[in-house]
Amino acid sequence: MSSQRHRRLDIIPDGFCDAWGGDSVEEALERAERARSSTDHRSFKRCPGCFSVKVRRKPGHKPLPNKKDNFDYKCGECGHHFATPAPSINEIVEREFSELTESLSDASSNANALAAALRRREER
Protein backbone atom coordinates (compact mmCIF):
# COMPACT_ATOMS: atom_id res chain seq x y z
CA MET A 1 0.00 0.00 0.00
CA SER A 2 1.42 3.39 -0.93
CA SER A 3 2.06 5.86 1.86
CA GLN A 4 -0.36 8.35 0.27
CA ARG A 5 -3.18 5.78 0.17
CA HIS A 6 -2.35 4.76 3.75
CA ARG A 7 -2.55 8.38 4.98
CA ARG A 8 -5.89 8.85 3.20
CA LEU A 9 -7.35 5.73 4.84
CA ASP A 10 -6.19 6.91 8.28
CA ILE A 11 -8.55 9.90 8.21
CA ILE A 12 -11.72 8.05 7.18
CA PRO A 13 -14.14 8.04 10.11
CA ASP A 14 -15.54 4.80 11.51
CA GLY A 15 -18.85 3.95 9.88
CA PHE A 16 -18.11 5.90 6.68
CA CYS A 17 -18.70 2.90 4.40
CA ASP A 18 -21.91 1.98 6.25
CA ALA A 19 -23.19 5.56 6.12
CA TRP A 20 -22.70 5.81 2.34
CA GLY A 21 -23.63 2.20 1.53
CA GLY A 22 -20.35 1.17 0.01
CA ASP A 23 -18.57 -2.16 0.30
CA SER A 24 -15.22 -0.39 0.09
CA VAL A 25 -13.83 3.01 0.98
CA GLU A 26 -13.49 3.85 -2.72
CA GLU A 27 -17.13 2.94 -3.43
CA ALA A 28 -18.43 4.87 -0.40
CA LEU A 29 -16.29 7.88 -1.33
CA GLU A 30 -17.60 7.79 -4.90
CA ARG A 31 -21.19 7.77 -3.60
CA ALA A 32 -20.46 10.60 -1.16
CA GLU A 33 -18.90 12.73 -3.91
CA ARG A 34 -21.96 12.23 -6.16
CA ALA A 35 -24.42 13.14 -3.38
CA ARG A 36 -26.09 16.53 -3.37
CA SER A 37 -24.58 19.08 -1.01
CA SER A 38 -26.38 19.49 2.27
CA THR A 39 -25.43 23.18 2.28
CA ASP A 40 -28.10 25.48 0.86
CA HIS A 41 -26.73 26.67 -2.50
CA ARG A 42 -28.51 30.00 -1.97
CA SER A 43 -25.90 30.83 0.69
CA PHE A 44 -22.94 30.46 -1.70
CA LYS A 45 -21.11 33.42 -3.18
CA ARG A 46 -21.41 33.61 -6.97
CA CYS A 47 -19.26 34.37 -9.98
CA PRO A 48 -19.96 37.93 -11.19
CA GLY A 49 -19.50 36.71 -14.79
CA CYS A 50 -21.89 33.74 -15.00
CA PHE A 51 -23.45 33.62 -11.48
CA SER A 52 -22.25 30.05 -10.94
CA VAL A 53 -21.65 28.94 -7.35
CA LYS A 54 -18.40 27.21 -8.39
CA VAL A 55 -16.33 30.05 -6.93
CA ARG A 56 -12.90 29.07 -5.63
CA ARG A 57 -10.39 31.17 -3.77
CA LYS A 58 -6.97 30.80 -5.35
CA PRO A 59 -4.78 28.98 -2.81
CA GLY A 60 -1.80 30.98 -1.64
CA HIS A 61 -2.56 33.80 -4.07
CA LYS A 62 -0.67 37.01 -3.33
CA PRO A 63 -1.29 39.99 -5.63
CA LEU A 64 1.86 41.30 -7.26
CA PRO A 65 2.34 44.79 -8.67
CA ASN A 66 2.09 45.05 -12.46
CA LYS A 67 0.76 41.50 -12.73
CA LYS A 68 -2.22 40.98 -15.03
CA ASP A 69 -3.89 38.36 -12.83
CA ASN A 70 -4.22 40.09 -9.46
CA PHE A 71 -7.53 38.47 -8.60
CA ASP A 72 -8.16 36.28 -5.55
CA TYR A 73 -10.99 34.18 -7.03
CA LYS A 74 -11.63 32.01 -10.07
CA CYS A 75 -14.89 30.55 -11.36
CA GLY A 76 -14.80 26.81 -11.92
CA GLU A 77 -17.61 27.10 -14.46
CA CYS A 78 -16.57 29.89 -16.85
CA GLY A 79 -12.92 30.43 -15.79
CA HIS A 80 -13.51 34.12 -14.93
CA HIS A 81 -10.91 35.63 -12.54
CA PHE A 82 -12.20 38.28 -10.14
CA ALA A 83 -11.41 40.16 -6.93
CA THR A 84 -14.83 40.03 -5.25
CA PRO A 85 -17.53 37.39 -5.65
CA ALA A 86 -21.11 38.42 -6.37
CA PRO A 87 -23.32 38.21 -3.27
CA SER A 88 -25.24 35.04 -2.49
CA ILE A 89 -28.96 34.85 -3.18
CA ASN A 90 -29.59 34.91 0.58
CA GLU A 91 -27.55 38.13 0.94
CA ILE A 92 -29.50 39.75 -1.90
CA VAL A 93 -32.86 38.71 -0.40
CA GLU A 94 -31.83 39.99 3.04
CA ARG A 95 -30.70 43.33 1.60
CA GLU A 96 -33.85 43.72 -0.50
CA PHE A 97 -36.05 42.81 2.47
CA SER A 98 -34.24 45.32 4.67
CA GLU A 99 -34.63 48.06 2.05
CA LEU A 100 -38.31 47.20 1.57
CA THR A 101 -38.92 47.24 5.32
CA GLU A 102 -37.21 50.64 5.56
CA SER A 103 -39.28 51.98 2.66
CA LEU A 104 -42.50 50.72 4.23
CA SER A 105 -41.52 52.29 7.53
CA ASP A 106 -40.83 55.62 5.79
CA ALA A 107 -44.13 55.37 3.90
CA SER A 108 -45.98 54.66 7.14
CA SER A 109 -44.37 57.67 8.82
CA ASN A 110 -45.27 59.84 5.83
CA ALA A 111 -48.85 58.54 5.87
CA ASN A 112 -49.15 59.29 9.60
CA ALA A 113 -47.79 62.80 9.08
CA LEU A 114 -50.22 63.38 6.21
CA ALA A 115 -53.15 62.08 8.27
CA ALA A 116 -52.20 64.38 11.16
CA ALA A 117 -51.97 67.38 8.79
CA LEU A 118 -55.40 66.57 7.33
CA ARG A 119 -56.91 66.29 10.82
CA ARG A 120 -55.45 69.69 11.77
CA ARG A 121 -56.83 71.17 8.56
CA GLU A 122 -60.29 69.76 9.24
CA GLU A 123 -60.22 71.15 12.79
CA ARG A 124 -59.81 74.71 11.51
**Global pTM value:** 0.47
- pLDDT tens digits, residue range 55-103? 998 887 666 666 656 688 999 999 999 989 999 999 989 888 888 888 8
Task: Output the pLDDT for position 80.
Answer: 93
| HEC string for the chain | CCHHHHHHHHCCCCCHHHHHCCCCHHHHHHHHHHCCCCCCHHHCCECCCCCCCCEEECCCCCCCCCCCCCCCEEECCCCCEECCCECCHHHHHHHHHHHHHHHHHHHHHHHHHHHHHHHHHHHC
* Pairwise CA distance, residues 111 & 90, whole Å: 31
**Residue 118 pLDDT grade (very low, low, confident, very high; cuts 50, 70, 90):** confident
CB 120 within 8 A of CB 114: no
- pLDDT tens digits, residue range 27-61? 988 888 888 877 787 888 999 999 999 999 888 76
